[in-house]
Amino acid sequence: MPTRRSTLVSLASGVAATTVPAILRGAGAKKTPLKYVQIGTGHAHANKIDAYRKSPDWEVLGVAEPDPERVASAKASKTYGDLPFLTVEQALNLPGLAAVGIETEVRDLLKYAEMAIDAGFHIHLDKPAGESLPPLRRIHEKAGAKGLTVQMGYMYRFNPAVVTMRDLLKKGWLGEPFEVETVMSKVVDAKGRRGLEEYPGGIMFELGCHIIDLTVGVLGMPDKVTAFPRQTIGGDSLMDNMLAVFEYPRATATVRSAAVEVEGGARRHFTVCGTEGTCHIQPLDRPAIRLALSRARDGGLKKGYQDIPFEPPYSRYVGDCADLAAVIRGEKASEFDSAHDLAVQECVLRASGLEKALG
């Protein structure tokens, strides 16, 4: 006799099967891998190159580290040690290259992104998308003119719970969204704080950008963003406790990010309340959904609350790798176009108190 847990696991599997695109589930015949190179090792998420190395869709040709102070440590690391090290010029002239990952420190992201676009390559651009909006607009304009893809490195876009949430919204099962409430926090140690305080946008700029991407995905571009930056721990200039309120004609959103929350990862969540249901995802990194519906829906979803787990545990970046390959091969259109990415970056800058960077 099936238990309640086995029923819910089956439900999650069924929901995932209908909401996660086939390309992200590894369906279809084996294809010739696309060629990929990474510029930079200084970004906090630069080790995502491991996901590309493991992906059947990609062949990693090497890495270019333009910062001479980082080359020795990168060559000594397990992540990059067995890869060819190239100059940026060599990387952008590799035969058959399809895409370039931009994984430098944030201050240099747009510089190398534009170089890759100018050279005629699709890019994976890590977050946040630089410190100024006009250069990003220019990059998107160039990419659009050349038919190139700019994929942003927001790590929850292909989280199975987030994909399911988007499908619930698309089907109208949550009704009209009127509220988003989301938190993404952690404890940042003294060394990490020194690195982050180089950027005046604080922890919202560094970490909160991930959930701003999700918020804009649900509600679109807000009419107004109000930032409430605070510093809880003194001794440096880092804004470590930040709130932003997004205002819409018929909805509001609150976005929080802190660098001082003990076990903050466990409380990372994203909640959408609509007129027909509520979808609460927590924690984001090992996702599960708490779903409330006004009435029963297809797929075994009942009226009221139910829990939807996702097993096995979600691995970051696997979906990103597959999706970028599918877009480049012409198998699908990107779900995150230039208008979305530019709206996200404008909201990130406003939520971080960086209106002067809007240009």
Report the predicted TM-score, pTM, of the whole model to 2 decimal places.
0.92
Task: Give the DSSP H/E element, type plus range, for residue 18.
Answer: helix 4-19
Task: Give the DSSP H/E element, type plus range, for residue 288.
Answer: strand 288-293
Confidence band of 288 (pLDDT split at 50, 70, 90): very high
Say if residue 59 is in the same domain as residue 192: no
d(CA 179, CA 181): 7
pLDDT tens track for 4-16: 344 344 455 555 4
pLDDT for position 313: 78
pLDDT for position 359: 87
The residue range of the domain holding 121 is 31-152
The amino acid that residue 14 corresponds to is: G
pLDDT for position 6: 42
d(CA 78, CA 49): 12
pLDDT tens track for 292-305: 999 999 999 999 99
pLDDT tens track for 193-242: 999 999 999 999 999 999 999 999 999 999 999 999 999 998 999 999 99
Say if residue 226 is in the same domain as residue 327: yes
pLDDT for position 15: 54
Say if residue 165 is in the same domain as residue 120: no
Say if residue 104 is in the same domain as residue 189: no
pLDDT tens track for 54-103: 999 999 999 999 999 999 999 999 999 999 999 999 999 999 999 999 99
β-bridge pairing 288-293 and 241-247: unpaired
Say if residue 219 is in the same domain as residue 98: no
Decide: 316 and 17 in contact? Cβ < 8 Å: no
User: Of the residues 131, 152, 173, which one is the last residue of a structural domain?
Assistant: 152
Say if residue 139 is in the same domain as residue 169: no
- 331 burial type by CB count under 10 A (0-12 exposed, 13-18 middle, 19+ buried): middle
Number of neighbours of residue 326 by Cβ within 10 angstroms: 20
DSSP-derived 3-state class of residue 310: coil
User: Of the residues 98, 126, 152, which one is the last residue of a structural domain?
Assistant: 152
β-bridge pairing 241-247 and 224-230: antiparallel
pLDDT for position 64: 98
Decide: 205 and 352 in contact? Cβ < 8 Å: yes
Q: Which two tokens stand for residue 162?
A: 């987030």
Q: Looking at per-residue confidence, does 19 or 247 come out higher? A: 247
pLDDT tens track for 147-194: 999 999 999 999 999 999 999 999 999 999 999 999 999 999 999 999
CATH number at residue 95: 3.40.50.720
Say if residue 118 is in the same domain as residue 171: no
136 pLDDT more than 60: yes
Mean pLDDT of 265-281: 99
In a domain, 98, yes or no: yes
**Total number of domains in the chain:** 2
Which segments of 89-199 are extended strands (E)? Answer: 97-102, 122-125, 150-152, 177-183
- What b/e string do you get for 10-20 counting C-beta neighbours within 10 Å, with b at 16 or more? ebbeebbeebb
The amino acid that residue 78 corresponds to is: K
247 pLDDT more than 60: yes
Measured CA distances, 320 to 67, 70, 269, 301, 327 (Å): 26, 26, 20, 28, 11
d(CA 78, CA 81): 5
| Average pLDDT along the chain | 93
Decide: 269 and 283 in contact? Cβ < 8 Å: yes
d(CA 207, CA 257): 7
Measured CA distances, 112 to 58, 66, 140 (Å): 21, 10, 13
Confidence band of 2 (pLDDT split at 50, 70, 90): very low
